[in-house]
Amino acid sequence: MKIPLVSYLIINLFFIASANGQQPFSSVKDPEITDFATVVQFLSSPDLEGRMTGAKGNQIAASYIASMMQQMKLSPLNPSDNAKPDITGYFQQYDLIQITHEGTKLIFKDTKKSLHDTFSIHTDFFTEEFFHNFRINGTANIDFSSVADNQTGNALNSDTISPKAIVLPETIEVYEKQSAAEKRNGSISSKSMASIRLDIHDNLDKDDFEKTGFKFEVRDTQNDVPVIYFNHEKSLKILDRYLSGKQPEKEEGKRSFKVLEVEIQGNTQLSPVVARNVIGMIPGRDSLTAIVIGAHYDHLGMDETGIYCGADDNASGVAGVISLAKMWYKSGEKPPCNLIFACWAGEETGKSGSSYFAGQIADPRTIRLYVNMDMISRSAPEDTFSRTLSIGFRAKDPQLKQLCSNENDQLPVPFLLDLWEVDGYTGSDYASFLPKDIPVLSFFSGFHPDYHTIRDTYEKIDLDKMERILYLVNHIIKRVLLN
Ligand SMILES: [Zn+2]
C-alpha cells in the first residue's frame, strides 16, 4: 500500500505546481515571523546602545549581520585570499569624520538685573550638526508677532500671546520675504544670526520636552543659522525673569518684540571613524546584472534620555533583508541575476553608507532595481485591518507602480497602498540611487509618535504586518526577476 500512497502524493504535488504555474520561483518561500523576529530583537536590544555609526554597538550589529550572511553562504563582496573565509569579507569599509560639540553653551544675561543663566549641551539642550566654532554675542529680539491672526494677517496683541521665537538681529527687515511656512515657524531667515524657538517640535510630545529641554540646531551655510528649541513652559519661566518690566518695541505698527542679551558659544570637535556596509550576494545565472535589496542598520545611539533602540528604524528593514536572503538560500534556487543583500551604515547621519556604495557602482545600468526597506514594522493604532503600506517609486517607472499594485491585489487582504513618487530630498537610502538613474522601490510602514525617540522598541513591533509586507516584497522581487 505504500507505493500508491507515494504516487498519490506526487500526482497531487504536480497538480498543485501546475495550478500555481503563474507563481514564479515557488521554491523561494515567504519569510515567516520566526525568520525575522529574533533579528529585530537582537539589533534593537539596548545592549547595542542604539547602533550609532562608529560606536561599539554598531560594530556588533555589523558583525552579527555578517555572521548571518556567512551562515547563509552568501558570496562576500570582497572574497578573502584565505582558504577559510572570515566575516570581514562582507564589510565594505569607508571613512567618516565624526562631529561632536562638547562645550557648546547658550547664555542669557542682563547686567542691570544681575541675571546670568548658562545652559550646556547635552544637559540643557541638544544640537544638530554644525561644522565650525563660533561665538555669537548680541541682542536677541523676542518676537511676539509671528503668530498672526488667521483672518486679518495682523499680529495679535503681544500682551496676551506667549512669545514664539527669539530671533537674533537682522531678521525683521527680511521678514516679508519669508515663506508662509517660515513665518509660521517663527521668523527665522537667512539673515538671522540665530533663532531660539519656543515652538514645540512636531515629532516630540510634551514628555520629551520635559526630559530633553532645548534642541539646538545649526545649519552650516554661509548664513549659518543656529536654532534652539525650547520646552515651552520651561522657557517661559526663564524668560519671565529677563522680560518682566520691559516694554515691547514695535516695528511698523505690526510687529512687536522685547530684547534679550544672548551669547552662544558653538564648539566643534572632529574625529575620524571607520564605517562599514555589510554586503553579501547570491550569484545569479546572469552574473553581470543585479537587484540590490537594502536597509540601514545604524541608528541614533544614546543620550541622557536613554537608548534609541531603533526597532522599527531600522532593525525591521535589516531583518527584512536578512530573511529574504534566507528564503533564497534555503530554496537553493539560482536567481536569473545577482541578488545583492546590503545593510548600510551611516543612514541616520546623512545616508553615507548607501551613497558610498552607489558611488562605487562602475556601470549603474547593471543594477536593475534597488529595493529599500526603511521602517517596515509599525502601524497607527487605528490601522488594524486594511493596513497602510507606503511604496515609493520613480515617476519614470510606471510599470513598477503597476506591478506593486497588481501584486498587492493578489494578497488575501490587500494593503491600503500609498504609492508615491520619490524625489531626491530625503534622508532615506533610496535617494543615493536616484542620481545613478537606478529604478527604486522604497517600502515604509509609516511614521508614528515613537519615530526617532527612545520608545521605538521591539515590544511595539507589529510582527504580523511586517510578515505581510515581506510577503509582498518577496513577490514583487520575484515578479521583477521574471521580466
Ligand atoms: Zn531614522
Q: How many domains does the chain have?
A: 2
Query: Is the domain of 63 the same as that of 43?
Result: yes
CA–centroid distance, 312 to ligand 1, in Å, is 9
Q: Is residue 50 part of a domain?
A: yes
Query: Is the domain of 363 the same as that of 402?
Result: yes
Contact indicator for 348, 298 with CB cutoff of 8 Å: yes
Q: Is residue 20 part of a domain?
A: no
Which set of grid coordinates corresponds to residue 444?
Answer: 515604509
Query: Is the domain of 187 the same as that of 259?
Result: yes
Q: Is residue 5 part of a domain?
A: no
* Helix or strand (DSSP H, E) at 34: helix 33-43
Indicate yes or no: pTM above 0.85. Answer: no
Query: Which amino acid does the sequence have at 228?
Result: I
Residue 207 belongs to domain spanning: 102-266
Query: Is the domain of 467 the same as that of 381?
Result: yes
Q: Is residue 380 part of a domain?
A: yes
Query: Is the domain of 335 the same as that of 383?
Result: yes
Per-residue buried b or exposed e for 136-156, using 16+ beta carbons within 10 Å of the residue's own CB: bebebbbbbbbbbeeeeeebe
Distances (CA, A) of 50 to 59, 248, 277, 301, 373: 11, 45, 17, 4, 19
Query: Is the domain of 138 the same as that of 82?
Result: no
- Per DSSP, helices labelled H in 25-84 are 33-43, 56-71
CA–centroid distance, 282 to ligand 1, in Å, is 28
Please state, in angstroms and rounded to a whole number, the distance separating the CA atoms of residues 468 and 475. Answer: 11
At which of 244, 266, 288 does a domain end?
266
Query: Is the domain of 209 the same as that of 79?
Result: no
Query: Is the domain of 205 the same as that of 258?
Result: yes
pLDDT at 205: 40
Q: Which residues pair with 370 in a beta bridge?
A: 292, 440
pLDDT at 383: 66
Q: Is residue 15 part of a domain?
A: no
CA–centroid distance, 171 to ligand 1, in Å, is 32
CA–centroid distance, 350 to ligand 1, in Å, is 10
Q: Is residue 370 part of a domain?
A: yes
pLDDT at 263: 80
CA–centroid distance, 56 to ligand 1, in Å, is 19
Residue with the three cell numbers 564589510: 91
Q: Is residue 19 part of a domain?
A: no
Q: Domain containing 299 — which CATH number?
A: 3.40.630.10
Which set of grid coordinates corresponds to residue 4?
Answer: 500508491
Residue with the three cell numbers 494578497: 411
Query: Is the domain of 144 the same as that of 233?
Result: yes
Q: Which residues pair with 337 in a beta bridge?
A: 286
CA–centroid distance, 53 to ligand 1, in Å, is 12
Query: Is the domain of 199 the same as that of 281?
Result: no
Query: Is the domain of 113 the same as that of 235?
Result: yes
CA–centroid distance, 151 to ligand 1, in Å, is 38
CA–centroid distance, 91 to ligand 1, in Å, is 22
Query: Is the domain of 123 the same as that of 217?
Result: yes
User: From the first residue on, what is the mean pLDDT of each consecutive set of 10 residues in the chain (483 residues)?
Assistant: 32 35 82 97 98 95 97 86 76 89 87 87 68 71 47 38 39 34 38 42 39 43 48 62 73 61 83 94 95 97 90 98 97 96 93 94 96 92 74 95 96 91 82 95 91 94 94 96 88
CA–centroid distance, 313 to ligand 1, in Å, is 5
User: CA-based Rg of the chain, rounded to a whole angstrom?
Assistant: 27
Please state, in angstroms and rounded to a whole number, the distance separating the CA atoms of residues 164 and 54. Answer: 37
DSSP 124: T
CA–centroid distance, 451 to ligand 1, in Å, is 7
At which of 266, 284, 308 does a domain end?
266
At which of 266, 293, 312 does a domain end?
266
CA–centroid distance, 351 to ligand 1, in Å, is 10
CA–centroid distance, 332 to ligand 1, in Å, is 34
DSSP 74: P
- The closest of 216, 209, 263, 208 to 234, measured between CA atoms, is 209
Q: Is residue 8 part of a domain?
A: no
CA–centroid distance, 470 to ligand 1, in Å, is 20
Which set of grid coordinates corresponds to residue 158?
Answer: 503681544
